[in-house]
């Protein structure tokens, strides 16, 4: 917190930047993320940009097999579609559990 002399104003800081300048995730936001863990039924990602603004706070996202493979007929797994280290654009479709975001690459 910064307090300005002679004023009754405080500014909340995160990593040295005012919190109001940091991009916050919201449903419907376009994000850029990097996949760091892939299992047969989901992939975990770290969000690096929200609406083309760099994130200074680490946000986690999850690609579920239900959202990725909704239109497929064959039995394929998330490991066939996404790879660890892959960078891709996605859409936030929901807030998940444990501070995660549910992502979809179909937009």
Domains of the chain and any CATH numbers: 23-104 (2.40.50.140)
What are φ and ψ of residue 36, in 5° steps? -120, -15
Rounded CA gap, 103 and 62, in Å? 6
What are 61's two structure tokens?
A: 């996202």
4 conformational bin, left if phi > 0, alpha if psi -120 to 50, beta if neither? beta
Coil, strand, or helix at residue 37?
strand
With cut-offs at 50, 70 and 90, classify the pLDDT of residue 16: confident
Q: Percent of the chain having pLDDT more than 90?
A: 43
Whether this model's pTM surpasses 0.95 = no
Determine phi and psi for 56, rounding to 5 degrees.
-100, -10
76's tokens? 């394929």
């Amino acid at each position: 917190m910064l307090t300005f002399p002679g004023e009754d104003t405080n500014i909340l800081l995160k990593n040295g930047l005012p919190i109001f300048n940091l991009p916050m995730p919201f449903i419907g936001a376009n994000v850029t993320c990097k996949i760091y863990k892939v299992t047969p039924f989901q992939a975990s990602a770290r969000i690096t940009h929200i609406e083309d603004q760099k994130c200074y706070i680490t946000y986690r996202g999850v690609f579920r097999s239900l959202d990725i493979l909704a239109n497929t007929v064959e039995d394929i797994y998330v490991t066939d579609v996404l790879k660890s280290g892959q960078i891709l654009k996605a859409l936030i479709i929901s807030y998940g559990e444990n501070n995660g975001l549910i992502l979809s690459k179909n937009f």
